[in-house]
């Protein structure tokens, strides 16, 4: 087990003190990161003690410690999973050769592009969530928001370390640019679409952590397979933290639904108006938020048929999530059945497997998303409302990237004509009215143990603490 070095300015397990020029470069970037955190990070509560977990080792048993810390003093550091001796490349064209400890010259720009794209999402999400503290439904949720935020900050550090350590001057420039692009900025936006969408209410926050952080899980799993060993090891450790982010999303959505069902039972009605008047969120509105964030997150996997993805696989840079699940790790002359849209018709085609890597990853992601949906539907039917079910919309619905982009497809996957589609679109997505209703519910609740009207109490507290524990010290 490699102990993390906490004596240094930048906690790390990469022996930073033995590489003075790298250490200096990162120490030069550190104050820029801190400035960015102050300006673009969570608004408010920066001077308050927050009950946060911090990584202290990469050992699976006991990798984190919990304690109160002011966010700007959080110990962001560089932690890579332990190396595996004699590790070999296990997919693509170079199976069996040793994994790389340095970047092969030929792959420099494509690898840098992957790392920059991954890195860009991390600070983007912090920016998107920066105002949510003002409307937190409880201290427990406020703490979870900040936990997610500081860890996304650490994920940025993870990518910046790789850029500084392995990409020289270009890498240092990219590291600066990661702090210069901003979510939703007209002139200099974040790279991927979803990360420029505003997250202005907590319903969107839970949807984002359920659906968009889960894209993170699948992309990190693919990169954890990489033949560039430092990238693989970094992503492996990031996945440990990622699990909590998705848990925040899943439990948040569950608690919203629990509260809605409670109101429905009390009032013996499923009338949208009655539920809303009681300060809870009707299930059809929750469905609309699912439609929005799921469809947006699907675009993050890239085009269904992608030569970029084929190249990244062939070169051993990016594998499939859980590559061990597959028999053939070369996939050189193999094919994948895909639905394509040709001459205004949906057709089934065999395409080279390597070109289908984005779609293969997307399919695994969709299955994973469905696990929570099934659980929510069990909860709804257990409470006696069998005739309402939540569902994921068709993967063809509202896409902006790939085969289905800009086609008029309804949530069930049917192609519609222009006019019908545009008329109905607002009934599938949160309307202005829905949004202003949700906004009206977003009232800050800071009393320990209390929650806002629209969400149930959590089942249990954090790290064996009570629900009413003061997760954020106010004053
Ligand atoms: N928006 O062949 P294509 C996370 C671009 S989330 C805008 O279709 P490719 C997190 C693409 O860049 C995980 N542009 O796709 C979650 C390319 O542009 P260039 C983030 C898009 O390249 C929550 C062009 O379209 N990690 O960690 O095979 C909170 C054609 O590309 C989009 C990664 O993404 C889009 N949605 O795959 C915090 C992993 N989609 O190069 C954090 C690294 C595609 O022609 N990135 N484009 O200018 C990748 O592996 C790939 O870049 C992608 C795209 C999977 C994103
Ligand atoms: Fe992350
Ligand atoms: Fe995350």
**Is the distance from the beta carbon of residue 159 to the nearest atom of ligand 1 less than 6 Å?**
no
In the chain, where the domains are located: 16-307+355-441, 308-354
Nearest atom in ligand 1 to the alpha carbon of residue 306 is: 2
pLDDT at 2 over 90: no
Q: How far is the CA of 74 from the centre of ligand 2 (A)?
A: 16
Residues 110, 43: contact at Cβ < 8 Å?
A: no
For residue range 252-263, what is the model confidence (pLDDT) as tens digits? 999 999 999 999
Ligand index nearest the alpha carbon of residue 195: 1
Angle 92-399-246 (CA atoms, 0-180°, nearest 5)? 70
278: buried, middle or exposed (CB in 10 Å: 19+, 13-18, 0-12)? middle
Using CA positions, which residue lies closest to atom 4 of ligand 1? Answer: 216
- How many CB atoms neighbour CB 118 within 10 A? 24
- The β-bridge partners of 204 are none
Using CA positions, which residue lies closest to atom 31 of ligand 1? Answer: 302
For residue 1, the model assigns a pLDDT of: 44
Nearest atom in ligand 1 to the alpha carbon of residue 303 is: 8
Q: How far is the CA of 302 from the centre of ligand 1 (A)?
A: 6
What mean pLDDT is predicted for residues 119-129?
98
Positive or negative torsion for Cα 23, 24, 27, 28: negative
- How many CB atoms neighbour CB 64 within 10 A? 14
- Averaged confidence pLDDT in the chain: 96
Residues 454, 279: contact at Cβ < 8 Å?
A: yes
Collapsing DSSP states into helix, strand and coil, what is residue 341? strand
Indicate the helix (H) or strand (E) that contains 232.
Answer: helix 229-267
Model-level pTM?
A: 0.97
**Is the distance from the beta carbon of residue 171 to the nearest atom of ligand 1 less than 6 Å?**
no
CATH entry 3.20.20.140 includes domain 16-307+355-441: no
For residue range 279-309, what is the model confidence (pLDDT) as tens digits? 999 999 999 999 999 999 999 999 999 999 9
Collapsing DSSP states into helix, strand and coil, what is residue 449? coil
Please choose from 208, 231, 302 the residue to mutate so as to test ligand 1's pocket, defined by most ligand atoms within 8 A of CB. 302
Q: Whose structure tokens read 């430092």? A: 230
Ligand index nearest the alpha carbon of residue 242: 3
pLDDT at 7 over 90: no
Query: Residue 41, by phi and psi: left (phi above 0), alpha (psi -120 to 50) or beta?
Result: beta
For residue 3, the model assigns a pLDDT of: 55
């Amino acid at each position: 087990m490699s102990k993390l070095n906490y004596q240094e300015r930048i906690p790390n397990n990469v022996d930073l003190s033995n590489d003075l020029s790298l250490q200096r470069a990162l120490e030069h970037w550190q104050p820029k990161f801190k400035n960015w955190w102050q300006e673009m990070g969570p608004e408010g509560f920066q001077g308050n003690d927050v009950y946060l977990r911090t990584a202290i080792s990469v050992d699976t048993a006991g990798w984190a410690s919990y304690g109160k810390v002011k966010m700007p003093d959080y110990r962001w550091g560089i932690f890579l999973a332990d190396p595996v001796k004699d590790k070999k490349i296990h997919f693509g064209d170079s199976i069996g050769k040793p994994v790389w400890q340095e970047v092969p010259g030929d792959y420099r720009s494509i690898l840098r592009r992957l790392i920059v794209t991954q890195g860009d999402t991390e600070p983007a999400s912090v920016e998107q969530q920066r105002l949510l503290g003002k409307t937190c439904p409880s201290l427990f949720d406020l703490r979870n928001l900040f936990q997610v935020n500081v860890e996304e900050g650490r994920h940025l550090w993870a990518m910046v370390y790789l850029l500084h350590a392995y990409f020289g001057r270009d890498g240092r420039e990219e590291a600066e640019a990661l702090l210069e692009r901003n979510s939703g900025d007209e002139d200099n936006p974040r790279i991927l679409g979803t990360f420029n969408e505003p997250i202005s209410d907590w319903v969107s926050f839970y949807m984002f952590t359920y659906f968009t952080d889960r894209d993170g899980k699948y992309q990190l799993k693919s990169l954890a397979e990489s033949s560039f060993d430092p990238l693989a090891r970094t992503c492996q450790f990031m996945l440990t933290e990622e699990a909590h982010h998705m848990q925040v999303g899943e439990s948040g959505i569950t608690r919203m639904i629990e509260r809605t069902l409670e109101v429905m039972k009390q009032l013996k009605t499923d009338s949208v108006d009655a539920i809303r008047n009681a300060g809870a969120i009707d299930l059809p509105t929750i469905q609309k938020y699912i439609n929005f964030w799921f469809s947006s997150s699907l675009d993050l996997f890239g085009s269904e048929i992608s030569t970029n993805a084929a190249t990244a696989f062939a070169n051993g840079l990016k594998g499939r999530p859980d590559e061990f699940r597959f028999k053939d790790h070369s996939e050189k002359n193999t094919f994948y059945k895909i639905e394509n849209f040709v001459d205004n018709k949906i057709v089934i085609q065999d395409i080279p497997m390597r070109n289908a890597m984005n779609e293969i990853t997307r399919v695994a992601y969709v299955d994973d998303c469905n696990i929570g949906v099934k659980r929510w539907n069990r909860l709804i039917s257990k409470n006696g409302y069998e005739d309402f079910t939540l569902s994921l919309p068709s993967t063809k619905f509202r896409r902006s990237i790939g085969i289905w982009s800009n086609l008029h497809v309804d949530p069930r996957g049917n192609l519609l004509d222009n006019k019908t589609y545009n008329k109905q679109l607002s009934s599938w997505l949160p309307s202005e009215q829905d949004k202003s209703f949700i906004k009206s519910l977003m009232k800050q609740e800071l009393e320990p143990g209390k929650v806002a009207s629209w969400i149930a109490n959590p089942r249990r507290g954090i790290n064996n603490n009570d629900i009413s524990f003061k997760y954020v010290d106010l004053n």
